[in-house]
Amino acid sequence: MSTYTSSSNATGGTAGSKTGGTAGSTAGTSNGTKTDGKNGTMNATMNATSMDATTRRPRLSGMTWLVWRQHRAAFWTILAAAALSIAWMVYQRGQMTDYLDGHGYPAKPLSDGFQQYIDAFSSVAMGLGSIPILLGVFLGAPLLAGDLESGTAKLVAAQSVSRTRWLATKLGLTGLVVVVITVALSAVFNWWWSPVKGEPTVMDWTSTEGFNNTGPVPVALTLLSVFGGVAIGVVLRRTLMAMVVTFGFVVIVELVWNEFVLSLGNVITLTTNKGVMAENSYPSLPGNAYELDSSYITSTGDLLGWSTCSDQASDQARELCLKKADVVGWSVDYLPMSQMNGMQWFGASILFALTAGVVAFLFFWGRKRLV
């Protein structure tokens, strides 16, 4: 009896031990599987989110996205045209430098074979010079006039976005596009011109082709043209009329600017006292200097026109006439090329100030009419 009981207890204990061990093992396995599955799923999700965050590209949003989408055709057209122009200038510079190296420049002067590159300069400079007019008419004038004419401005005014923010985004994004393309085009054009910049026969630095297409000048001229067109559009509120008036505005701005350019520099006067009839009597100016005026100078410092005594029949008679007029030499006014950069920045600062005035007009008066 006792043996049987002990045996039964032993058997039960063994069975219980086995059952408990198996159950515990199964439970542990089950718990481990569930835990590992959850952790694996969470880790995979976090890794995917992290990878998505690192590979996600920055995108425009809000009002910036709206303005870009509204004018994306014009913006992309401008950027594409600028990229093509830059590629063309880079190609032309490569061709030109190959020619100069083969020709032996600057040890040897330029020959008639360089004319094709001069023509290329003229063509590209003419195209770059038309940018303020094109962007002022086709980008600036319709920028707000189109919204005012179509009623889009009223829809925007009815939303939670303020008119100031809408106007600031419109002007800011447009100004950014204009600055990017004009800076890039100006830099590449100057880089193309730099190997022969000292040759007045290629392109005079005071000409509109050279002065207005390099440095800060094209940026300032284009910004004034574009924002001036925007202001005209706000006032007139009709797209076509604004484009026509903007064309006239930009043409007048460029005409006044071209007349004003030479007065930006500090005129240097060079005088001589070796007479005016001798072969080497005329003063020698620095390389590529731009001569503004020349006159005869007397011993007392008075200036006489170079046509003085030109009606004399012979050189001897003319020399006697000049001696009686007390002419002792030449007086020449000129601008050295070393002043080009300073003149460009001085002029551009004036244009930037005018542009700031136009922008202030748009914010403090124009925004009241954006409905």
Supply 246's token pair. Answer: 């903007």
Q: 228 near 358, Cβ under 8 Å?
A: yes
8-state DSSP, 272: -
292's enclosing H/E stretch is: strand 290-298
Q: What's the confidence (pLDDT) of residue 5?
A: 41
Which residues, at least 6 apart from 76, have a Cβ–Cβ distance to it below 8 Å? none
Which residues, at least 6 apart from 191, have a Cβ–Cβ distance to it below 8 Å? 93
Q: For 253-273, write each residue's pLDDT tens digit.
A: 999 999 999 999 999 999 998
Q: For 15-54, write each residue's pLDDT tens digit.
A: 444 444 444 444 444 444 444 444 544 454 445 444 444 4
Q: How far is CA 145 from CA 47, 76, 140, 148, 191, in A?
A: 49, 20, 9, 5, 38
Q: What's the confidence (pLDDT) of residue 77?
A: 95
Q: Per mean pLDDT, which range of 10-14, 166-170, 288-292 is the poorest? A: 10-14
Which residues, at least 6 apart from 273, have a Cβ–Cβ distance to it below 8 Å? 297, 328, 329
**Whats the size of the chain, residue-wise?**
371
- In which band, very low, low, confident or very high, does the pLDDT at 154 lie, cut at 50, 70 and 90? low
Q: Per mean pLDDT, which range of 7-16, 106-115, 148-157, 346-355 is the poorest? A: 7-16
Question: Helices then strands (H, E): number in the chain?
Answer: 12, 4
Confidence (pTM) = 0.79
- CA neighbours closer than 13 Å in the CB half-sphere of residue 213: 26
8-state DSSP, 364: H
As a dihedral over the C-alpha atoms of residue 277, residue 269, residue 350, residue 205, rounded to 10 degrees, the angle is 50
Q: Provide Rg for the chain, Cα atoms.
A: 39
Supply 306's token pair. Answer: 């170079």
Q: What's the confidence (pLDDT) of residue 151?
A: 74
Supply 113's token pair. Answer: 């074979």
Q: What's the confidence (pLDDT) of residue 286?
A: 87
Q: What's the confidence (pLDDT) of residue 163?
A: 76
Angle at 66 between CA 63 and CA 70, to 5 degrees: 140
Q: For 184-217, write each residue's pLDDT tens digit.
A: 999 999 999 999 998 888 999 999 999 999 999 9
- In which band, very low, low, confident or very high, does the pLDDT at 160 lie, cut at 50, 70 and 90? low
Supply 212's token pair. Answer: 């207005």
Q: What percent of the chain has pLDDT over 90?
A: 54
